[in-house]
Amino acid sequence: MKNRPIGIFDSGLGGLTAVKELLNILPNENIIYFGDTGRVPYGSKSRDTILKYAIQDIEFLKSMNVKMIIAACGTVSSIIGGSNVNIDIPFTGVVEPTAMAASASTKNGKIGIIGTTATIKSGAYKHALKKINSSFNVFEQDCPMFVPLVENGFIKDNDKAALIIAEKYLYSLREKGIDTLILGCTHYPIIKKLISKVMGPTVKLIDSGSETALFAANLLYSLDYISTRNTKGVCSFFVSDTVEGFSKTASLFLGRNINQDVKIVDIDSYTI
Amino acid sequence: MKNRPIGIFDSGLGGLTAVKELLNILPNENIIYFGDTGRVPYGSKSRDTILKYAIQDIEFLKSMNVKMIIAACGTVSSIIGGSNVNIDIPFTGVVEPTAMAASASTKNGKIGIIGTTATIKSGAYKHALKKINSSFNVFEQDCPMFVPLVENGFIKDNDKAALIIAEKYLYSLREKGIDTLILGCTHYPIIKKLISKVMGPTVKLIDSGSETALFAANLLYSLDYISTRNTKGVCSFFVSDTVEGFSKTASLFLGRNINQDVKIVDIDSYTI
């Protein structure tokens, strides 16, 4: 069991921001990453469709004999929490670990959440925060243009169009006086500097991917599931669309160059 | 045969800009529209994936006993032309009718094309224009942010972020001195005014959806496939994701209110 890979998935390549952190913390683990690039994005789609896709993603990772599954996708994590999907191996989404980190960070109890439309609509982050401390003041805002901006390279912190759009989405959260902002989508760390520019230096940004990687590593320790390998682990990448251009885009999210191949999965064929 | 419906599909709801025109020209026809909202967008995906999805979309429409199929999607039309997909009923994509309209419009022979990344990469519009007149000077530009801008309501012709992004994509086409610009994606008519503002009043914009509707109507006449119905036809809508909010978004593209229901299709289950 210990030397089986860790499975991580996302609607696309945003989840690689969680892989980046996991590679830092647990370099000897084998990792299997699946990005559903053939059906990306999830965040603008309905609960039922997202759930159907998430179940197929999980079944694929299970077929790869993973010891744990991480849904490194704010949208999937938000939807799956309120469902009755039964995953019979250790599992975590990004919502709870991120809410916990935000609750540890806030001083004034005013916490903001940004994410895809599906994530915000689910109320999952808000629910998790209120469960930790019902007196928190929680403010939510969906930012449906952030994923397209990131995916199309509008990521510089002085990009004029991105700044105008960010200001439109974020000004009301800033006005509320929050001191902590949850980046509830694993794409958002790529424009962390830009978001910080709009929110101001007093607002702490909580990165859902890295908080979740931290929790997953702790969970593996507590279960005694950490690999006994003494050498660097291998990261294998799977996608549902083209592999063309994968290395370039993936390197952006992963923060390092990717040398190995990526394989294509016929994700429609995976069902419970 | 004559009173069978016309089938139209798109990756999402952009194709409704073609339905709008078809309803104007042939009000007595029954129309079946399918929007693959569960897998939208197509334009950022690979040739193989787009082709697989397009074949499923076509098979669904065939199962509805349509007399003709219109791919009201720049991306599908661009990819399917170069493939060996065999559609055994009257069919048209948007590329050829739009290229023909552009060639009729240009005075100086300088024609621009904008579309999704997959559309521009395919070179389909350029190929069609060169086939009509090899001396045309053709300039292409993909505009991957235009679909997200339209879908997220950044559509006013004085929207600052949309203007900055449009300027970034279009300035080189403007500098080339084109007098005709093909809107090679059925989403783009929604921001026609904004595009015109950036291109200037001397550049004529060619709307692929309406040119294709015009051609399709002519084709039906020439085949003697026009409905014998004397009353208004019925438009039926099918999607692959949620029906929630459909009426509101669809009304934007269709330019009129939609009263009837929309049904969900399990599009994965359609194969040749």
- Taking only the tens place, the pLDDT of each residue in A164-218 is 999 999 999 999 999 999 999 999 999 999 999 999 999 999 999 999 999 999 9
The pLDDT confidence band at residue B256, using thresholds 50, 70 and 90, is: confident
The pLDDT value recorded for residue B93 is: 96
Name the residue in chain B with its Cα closest to that of A117: B152
The pLDDT value recorded for residue A194 is: 98
Using a pLDDT cut of 90, give the percent of chain A over it.
87
The pLDDT value recorded for residue A189 is: 95
pLDDT above 70 for B224: yes
Cβ B244–A46 below 8 Å, yes or no?
Answer: yes
Cβ A151–B37 below 8 Å, yes or no?
Answer: no
Using a pLDDT cut of 70, give the percent of chain B over it.
100
pLDDT above 70 for A272: no
Q: CB neighbours of B245 closer than 8 A, spacing ≥ 6?
A: none
**Once rounded to an integer, what is the mean pLDDT over residues A19-40?**
95
Backbone angles phi, psi at B258, to 5 degrees: -110, 125
Find chain A residues with C-beta within 8 A of B149's C-beta: 145
Q: Is B112 in a helix, a strand, or coil? A: strand
**Once rounded to an integer, what is the mean pLDDT over residues A233-238?**
94
More confident: A255 or B149? B149
The pLDDT value recorded for residue A233 is: 94
The predicted-structure confidence for B182-203, as pLDDT tens digits, reads as follows 999 999 999 999 999 999 999 9
Name the residue in chain A with its Cα closest to that of B118: A242
Question: Which of A242, A246, A248 would best serve as a mutation to test chain B binding (most B beta carbons within 10 A)?
Answer: A242
pLDDT above 90 for B247: no
Q: Is A228 exposed, middle or buried (0-12, 13-18, 19+ CB in 10 A)?
A: exposed
Closest residue to A160, CB basis, from B44, B49, B164? B164
Total Cβ atoms within 10 A of residue A256: 11
Average per-residue pLDDT for chain A: 94
Q: The tokens 């209110």 sit on which residue? A: B257
**Once rounded to an integer, what is the mean pLDDT over residues B93-103?**
96
Q: How big is chain A, counted in residues?
A: 272
- The DSSP call for residue A264 is E
The pLDDT value recorded for residue A102 is: 97
Longest dimension (CA), chain B: 50
pLDDT above 70 for B272: no
The residues of B carrying an active-site annotation are: 73, 185
pLDDT above 90 for A260: no
Binding-face residues of A in 40-99 toward B, CB within 8 A: 44-49
More confident: A136 or A248? A136
Average per-residue pLDDT for chain B: 94
More confident: A100 or B85? A100
**What span, in angstroms and rounded, lies between the C-alpha atoms of A45 and B37?**
8
Instruction: Say yes or no: A155 contacts chain B, CB-CB below 8 A.
Output: no
Nearest to B32 by CA among B231, B239, B241, B253: B239
pLDDT above 70 for B155: yes
Instruction: Say yes or no: B125 contacts chain A, CB-CB below 8 A.
Output: no
* Domains and their CATH numbers in chain A: 6-93+210-269 (3.40.50.1860), 95-208 (3.40.50.1860)
Question: Which of B145, B170, B269 would best serve as a mutation to test chain A binding (most A beta carbons within 10 A)?
Answer: B145
